[in-house]
Structure 1
Amino acid sequence: MIHKEGITFLGYTLVIILLLIIFSFLLFSKLICIFISIFFIVFYLFLILFFRNPKRKFNEINDNGNKEIIISPADGKILKIQKVFENEFLKKKCICISIFMSPFNVHVNRFPVSGKIIYVKYHPGKYVIAWLPKSSSYNEHTTTVVKTNKGEKILFRQIAGFLTRRIILYAKKNSIVKKGDEFGFIKFGSRVDIFLPLYSIILVKKGEKVIGGITKISTIPSI
């Protein structure tokens, strides 16, 4: 299934590629045209792969009990897990889990928890390589905070990467959201950070690959 953000883009790109292939047959030798055609076909298949949107639904049956289960907001690799001071909204020390998305990952972003959105903000910025520490504050990014049904405030952040030129955020303040539903999309390599309470139990480790909307990355016990 192709994500809605890619349908128009893929349509225009297909027209441009077909025109380029046609012109190449008029201007170059047959052998060169074959190579050009193969290149554009492979490139277009990559774009289709990038804009894929597999259907996923977190099993809410597993979310009952006295602990809050946090699922991964994105596909990718765990870049780092560290204690940091979150100074935009939470104003306290948290455990930050950073997930790096390569151009080959699914780039749909999903709510890691269910609850009510209490804060949403877009920050313009630069396009530093996403895995560098300074990218979280220098780069274009968005911040969203959801207050869960158990009263926890979970902050997560979309961060643009070197190739990224558009962050799309669907989250709206005061909306009631469900774990696993889409909250945004980032076009081409990027990163998502999620900030959890210090007493959270982390279920993943650095370097581990995670699946957005499926992989359990943490549990937060009731206190």
Structure 2
Amino acid sequence: MKAPEFSVAKEGLPFILFAGFAALICAVLQYRYAALAGLAVTAFVTYFFRDPERTLPEDSGAMVSPADGKVIRMEELHDDRFLHQDVLRISIFMNVFNVHVNRIPLAGTVRRIVFEPGRFYAADQDKAALHNEYCAVIVETAAGQQYAAVQIAGLIARRIVCRAELGDQVITGQRYGLIRFGSRVDLYLPKGSETLVQVGETVKAGETVLARVKEK
């Protein structure tokens, strides 16, 4: 079996190159401690933008996690922004040490993309879901159900990257974006979906099965 290769998200390359160049200049000018600090920053930024391969579950109907991090909330509510129905919302918080590449939870067709500018409260707060800047991707599955994966900016994270486009045919585990420097992703599922994780559980994008959605 071929070993997975270490890769870096392309959105991180400008940051890595800038930090590395700054460290090189400091080294040339013989600013030893500044050069060492620059190397440390370069290493951290490279680590932050890492993009490892993931092993998808064999269950083709499984809803996988869209993000690495910790499940901080799981609740039923009425959603009047994305699916316009009663839903189950699963919130995943990503700290600065998590992989920040986001992945498609379940194969389907992108029906809507909603971007809304907003505030930048700490992503683990309740008001972040209502007031923070976000980008929502609404996908319709082969079974006729719709779900929404919502990237939410945070206190430090001010840049949401979403590569998905309207009409895209996406597959489970496919990379579709990231949020720079820590934040949160909320997953909105039809009410009645079977959950397979608990609050406080650590999950991995593209690998951890969060739920199974009933056919429409």
TM-score when normalising by structure 2: 0.92
What is the deviation of 1:90? Answer: 1.3
What is the deviation of 1:44? Answer: 1.8
- The percent identity for this pair of structures is 33
What is the deviation of 1:21? Answer: 4.3
State the alpha-carbon separation in 2 of the partners of residues 206 and 39 from structure 1: 37
State the alpha-carbon separation in 2 of the partners of residues 46 and 183 from structure 1: 23
The answer to whether the 8 A contact 2:72-2:124 is kept is: yes
State the alpha-carbon separation in 2 of the partners of residues 83 and 38 from structure 1: 49
State the alpha-carbon separation in 1 of the partners of residues 93 and 159 from structure 2: 16
Find the residue that maps to 1:62 and give its secondary structure. Answer: coil
Matched residue, 1:29: none
State the alpha-carbon separation in 2 of the partners of residues 70 and 217 from structure 1: 6
Which of 46, 50, 71 aligns to 2:64? It is 71
What is the deviation of 1:57? Answer: 4.2
What is the deviation of 1:4? Answer: 1.0
Unaligned runs of 5+ in 2: 1-6
**Counterpart mapping for 1:1-223 below 5 A:** 1-23=7-29, 25=31, 33-34=32-33, 36-59=34-57, 61-63=58-60, 68-222=61-215
Find the residue that maps to 1:221 and give its secondary structure. Answer: coil
Q: Say which structure is richer in helix.
A: 1
CA deviations on 1:51-102 (whole Å, 9 max, x unpaired) are 100012424x422xxxx31100000000110112211131122110000000
Matched residue, 1:30: none
State the alpha-carbon separation in 1 of the partners of residues 39 and 10 from structure 2: 21
State the alpha-carbon separation in 2 of the partners of residues 126 and 221 from structure 1: 35
Greater shift, 187-196 or 10-19, is seen at: 10-19
Change in CA separation of 1:45 and 1:154 when aligned onto 2, cut-off 3 Å: same
